[in-house]
Chains A and B, each alone.
Chain A
Amino acid sequence: MFEATSRYIIIAALTFLFAPASLKAQDHSHDDQLESSTHETSQLAPADEGHNEIHGQTVDEKEFEITELIMHHISDSHEWHFFDWNSQPVSLPLPVIVYTKKNGFSLFSSGRFHHNDDGAVVHESSNGDRFIKVHDKIYLAEEESINNSYAHFSDSHEVTNTTPDADISITKNVFNMFLGAMIMLLLFAGIIRRYKSQVPKGVAKFVEPLVVFVRDDIALQNIGEKHYKRFTPYLLTVFFFIWINNVLGLIPGGANLTGNISFTLTLSLLTFVIVNINGNKDYWRHIFWMPGVPYPVRVLMALIEIVGVFTKPFALMIRLFANMTAGHIVILSLISLVFIFKTIWIAPASVILTLFIYIIKVLVAFLQAYIFALLTALFIGQATQEHDHH
């Protein structure tokens, strides 16, 4: 029974993965709009202006904007872009779910924007709302267009259009997170079945040492024998979830999920709540009224400790976010060296350096998951340990 359902899930997952080939946008009616928009951007840039008439070359001769490319790569997106084929983007459009107070929810595919990212293509929802996409963000369209765009810009090039009241779209990062969760579910549901004969088989042989490692070296050592069993499931979940998503982010074309501050914020918020809910009397007394120090110092200590309650999960959040983002930026910068120096002779050095950083990143992907689980265990241990008093 279970085998049959899990097989269906795998097939569904595979179709999701290979769907983009069939979903590839073949809509040539919008080529004109795309062309005109590239014209405008290339005219703004001081690139060779002589070849602007021919579409295709304008793209090639646009000046290589490395910061823009890297920032685009590490940020979230409404479509999963894989590569360009004959200067047509091959991508998996993802659902957009937006809510406005006036007209309610609208759900549509981001393919309706036809890869346009500067507000030239308007999608009119069935409830009357009109949406545009500018720099991978959904805005409400203005009434009339300026320079072939329904987005209006301020003097500092910021979009002045109103945003929908809520945007809960399945973006690239969210999709990647679902993928990670699904991999985890399949992996561990499969492993449970392999334990019927007591001796682990197959993939369980690989995962068992890791589970034991988290239980013994992270949970037991830092939380203590009395309470560690209660927290091991959370630590295991956090460890494997971060690790799997880190590795998914390393696959070329993968989303930079663990380098997204909202994702790490949620994880550290969970840790914050778990630590403080389970904090015992001693923990709170050490925060608000530190025993064993003179009274004036207690007031000062209380201030510092209260700040400390928030900085610990904050540091967790920043650590994971910054590590993963920095890694992605370094890899992309090293590859971009070829385009910066505009010579192929830099390529060998660039490739070797990239490979080196990449291998370090594989280590860091594991290390960051380990550190997150370890520090969570450490904080839980601090909050639940009993002090024998002076």
Chain B
Amino acid sequence: MVGSIAALGAGLAVIGVGVGIGLIGKGAMEGIARQPEASGKIQTSMIIAAALIEGAGLFGIVVSLLGL
């Protein structure tokens, strides 16, 4: 039973990360559409932000894996 709860935790962690990265993608696309010449800089900061959010999500996944 512990195993299934741990998997649930991983799923919950992914929800947050998915929403977060989705919002970043939305923001970046809007920014690029408005200012195509700044796309390089926007992409870099988009990837940094995505990596940081993903890191937070992966903490959750690792913890739930430990409980598996």
Binding site for B on A (CB under 8 A): 67, 217, 221, 315, 318-319, 321-323, 326, 367, 370-371, 374-375, 378
Contact A319 B54 (CB under 8 A): yes
> Which of B51, B52, B58, B68 sits near A326, CB closer than 8 Å?
B58
Contact B61 A326 (CB under 8 A): yes
Per-residue contact bits, chain B 28-55, to A (CB 8 Å; 1 contact, 0 not): 0000000000000000100110011011
Interface of B: prevailing SS:
helix
Count contacts between A and B, CB distance < 8 Å: 34
C-alpha spacing A323/B68, complex, angstroms: 17
B15 contacts partner chain A, Cβ-Cβ < 8 Å: no
Nearest CB of chain A from residue B64's CB, rounded to whole Å? 11
B62 contacts partner chain A, Cβ-Cβ < 8 Å: yes
C-alpha spacing A230/B62, complex, angstroms: 35
Contact B58 A323 (CB under 8 A): yes
A318-B62, A322-B61, A326-B61 in contact; A374/B55 too (CB < 8 A)?
Answer: no
What A residues does B51 contact at CB under 8 A? 319, 371, 374-375
Contact B62 A374 (CB under 8 A): no
C-alpha spacing A371/B52, complex, angstroms: 10
Interface size class of B (residues with CB under 8 A): 10 to 19
Binding site for A on B (CB under 8 A): 44, 47-48, 51-52, 54-55, 58-59, 61-62, 68
Contact B48 A318 (CB under 8 A): no
Which residue of A has the minimal Cβ distance to B58? Answer: A322
Contact A318 B58 (CB under 8 A): yes
Contact A371 B58 (CB under 8 A): no
In the A-B complex, list the 10 residue pairs whose CB atoms are closest, starting with the nearest. Answer: A322-B58, A371-B51, A319-B55, A315-B55, A322-B62, A318-B58, A319-B58, A322-B61, A318-B59, A318-B62
Interface hub of B54, B55, B59, B62 (most chain A Cβ within 10 A): B55
Contact B47 A221 (CB under 8 A): no
Contact B62 A378 (CB under 8 A): no
Nearest CB of chain B from residue A65's CB, rounded to whole Å? 13
What A residues does B48 contact at CB under 8 A? 371, 374-375, 378
Nearest CB of chain A from residue B31's CB, rounded to whole Å? 18
Contact B47 A367 (CB under 8 A): yes
C-alpha spacing A319/B52, complex, angstroms: 9
A318-B55, A319-B54, A319-B55 in contact; A371/B61 too (CB < 8 A)?
Answer: no
Contact A221 B58 (CB under 8 A): no
Which residue of B has the minimal Cβ distance to A319? Answer: B55
Contact A217 B44 (CB under 8 A): yes
